[in-house]
Structures are given as C-alpha cells and as structure tokens.
Amino acid sequence: MLDQKLIRENPTSVEENLSLRGKIFNISSIHKLTVDKKEIDIEISNLQSESKKLSKLIGLEISKSQNKNSQELNELKNKGNKYRTKISEFEEKKRCLDNAIQKEILSLPNFPSKDAPIGRDENNNIQVKTWGDPLRKQNLKSHLEIGENLNLFDSIKTTKISKSRFITLIGDGARLERALINFMLDIHSANGYLELMPPALVNSESLQGSGQLPKFSSESFNCSNDDLWLSPTAEVPLTAYHKNEIIDSKLLPIKYVAYSPCFRREAGSYGKDTKGLIRLHQFNKVELYWFCDPSKSLEAHKNITSDAESILKKLNLPYRLVDICTGDLGFSASRTFDLEVWLPSSKCYREISSCSNCLDFQARRSSIRTKIDKKNQYIHTLNGSGLAIGRTMAAILENGQQLDGSVKIPDALVPYFGSNFIKTP
C-alpha cells in the first residue's frame, strides 16, 4: 500500500512513478480525499484543544463557585457540549473518508524500482544470464507424453473427481513430487530458513495484506460462508503471520520456507497450457519469504534469488535469470527476477520462480513494523518460489528423458526418490 502522506503532498510524483508500469494512473480523486481528511484532522485537533481549555475553565469555575447551577457555569457546560457534538460529527466524517481512501488506495500497485528495466510487457524483459547446457535434440517428448507413458499422472480420470486442470499423481509421479518437496525444504532449511507449514485457507484480510485483494479476487477460490479463501501461494499466510506486529530489529532478517498447496482459477488463461503440469488450478510449491531491515532489502533480493537458483543448480536443470521490466511487474512487487527453466520439447525457457522485493508495500498493508533508531518503520518483505514443484517435475522429465523411454533422476535427488531412474512399468 502506498503512503497516504505522499499521495496528499506529492500526487504528481505518485502518478509519474505508477506510470512506469506502462499505463496512465489518475489519482486526483484519492488525492482530494487525503486533503479533505487532513483538513478534518486539523479541525478535530483544534476543537479538542479548545475543549480541553474549556474543561479547565469549568473546573476552576466549579471550585470557586458556591452555586453549581450558576448562569456562567451552565453557559460553559453548554459550550463544552457543543464542542463534543462537533468533534463527534467530524470524527464520523473522518471515518467515512478513511473507508473511501482505503478502498481506493488498496487498488494502487507498488512503485516500480528505479533499477528495473523500463518496458510495457514481457517482450521488454532483460535476460541477465543463463546457466547449464540446454538439451537440444530432435523428436524429444513433452513431459505430458513422458508422464503418460510412464503412468506418472492422470488428468482424464481426475475430471471425475473435480474438473479440468486438476491432476492425480500416480506411483513414481507421486513419489517424485514428494521427493522434490522434501529435497527443497531440506536444502533451504540448511541455508538458514525456518520451516513453517501454514493453513491452506486464509481470510480476506490476509489476502488484502499481501496484495491479492481486492484486485485479484477473480483469481482465487472463495468459501464465502466463512470469509475464507483457498490460498493462491504461501506468500499470503507468511505475510499475515506477523500482521499487526512490531518485530525486534535484532531478529532481522527473518527467513521462512514453507511448503503449501496453491489454488488459482487462472482466469483469462484458457487455451494456454491446458494439458500437463504447467498451469493447473491446484499445484504444490515451496515458498521462500524474508522480513528484513529496510536498508538491506536490495542485498536480500540478490540472496533470495540465489537461494532459489541453488535448487536448479543442484538438480542440474538449465535455466536463465530474467530482470522483469516495469510493465510486467506483479502488483505488489517493486523489482522482480524471474528464473526460467529450460523445457526441451518446446525449445524455450518457462518461469519456475519469481523472486520479488516488495519494499514496504505489503508491510504497510499488514501493519508490520520494526523499531530503528527508536522510531517505528515499516519492514521490507521479499518472496520467491523455491521452487514450483509441478514445473520442476516437468523439467526433470523432459531434461532427463532417455532413448529407452526412461527418465534419469538428478543425482542430488536420488537419496530422496530412492532410485536413479524412472522406468516403464
């Protein structure tokens, strides 16, 4: 959430920063609301000051007067009642303005970082580096073909259970998914992350705090009778875990890793990746999340990205690092590095992790602060997939495919999976 004071005092700067996202933002209405609120705050403060002075006069009059119902005393009391009535009226106006401001300000995205490349869409993203030797051969099978041939998952029968874009993992498919989850959790835990396993159902306030609501309500599954939603990512409950807290600066950075099932409607993506493991309504993910000192979040962003990269390196999966341009940034992100893994069958890289620095955007929405130099400051938050499990499985199946139809398991994963190969049943 953006700073109300900045919107009130420098609306032009706010519009200029937001316009870096590639479209025009007009904040004149919310600017007027913040100005009106400031004027009411001044009115309330002045009235309260006058009311206090009057209370002292009434106290003095009572102490020196023999007549508790004197005309002078009654006039002072009536004047005090008028002050209280006016204060109450202004406070009600302020509550209405606060609600209107909150509604509008929650729809404004984060400012793009000055270091992010300027651009309108994904075509303007910049490749920073590549790692590994991409597999480039003719007649390579897709992970869908490999999975069906090895009986690793089934989407057809799953439609009887739920609907399309859900999948049931079978045998070695389920074992590979479980192995990847445990492998990632162990690696990140050894690297200083504290493991959490949060609820899969989250309330509206939690989604609002991380930036999913109100903008992305159509992307999530809602249990309206209970004000609960199926979590689209562990980023949501991990942000909310410290909601309304002041965290001791000596504890920073706090680094969490969490496995969670994730649920997304994927509204607007119909016809894209409808088969296989790339774009499902339900998928598993290991999430990395940092709460850090505001002065250290730029370095933290490099570190969380490196931690996500380490999984791809240990699995020997070729990938590239992409610096996301201003027009392609997520709603809450100020700067994002995407990790894209190589999928041989489609001869391209596909996103497997987005590592974002949100600065104080989520902390302001969730009221998460720390005390620095005896002053409360909003903390900075960072998040990144470490990694998306289904897409990692797809990459392993495609990059590890053998001529005999089997799949070679990456060496680092063998102790978790229990075998060097997945072979035809």
Span 113-138, pLDDT tens digits = 999 999 999 999 999 999 999 999 98
Q: Could you tell me the two tokens for 375?
A: 């002053």
The confidence score (pLDDT) of residue 80 equals 81
Q: Residue with structure tokens 């989850």?
A: 181
Residue 309 DSSP class:
H
Residue 286 is given by DSSP the state: E
CATH class for the domain made up of 122-422 = alpha beta
Q: Hey, what are 367's tokens?
A: 């009221």
List the one residue out of 321, 350, 355 whose CA is nearest residue 335: 355
Around Cβ 274, how many Cβ atoms within 10 Å?
14
pLDDT band of 225, cuts 50, 70, 90? very high
State which H helix or E strand residue 259 sits in. strand 254-263
Structure tokens at 337: 């590095």
Q: Which sign, positive or negative, has the C-alpha torsion 351, 352, 357, 363?
A: positive
Report the run of H or E that residue 127 belongs to, with start and end: strand 126-131
pLDDT score recorded for residue 131:
98
Ranges in the chain annotated CATH 3.30.930.10: 122-422
Q: What is the mean pLDDT of residues 75-103?
A: 91
Give residue 156's pLDDT: 92
Reference 184, options 351, 384, 350; nearest CA is 384
Residue range(s) in the chain whose domain bears CATH number 1.10.287? 4-105
Report the distance separating Cα 276 and Cα 78, nearest Å.
75
Cis peptide before 144 (omega within 30 of 0): no
Name the CATH code of domain 4-105 (choices 2.60.120, 1.10.10, 1.10.287, 1.10.3470): 1.10.287
pLDDT tens readout for residues 241-281: 999 999 999 999 999 999 999 999 986 555 566 688 999 99
Q: What is the pTM of this model?
A: 0.92
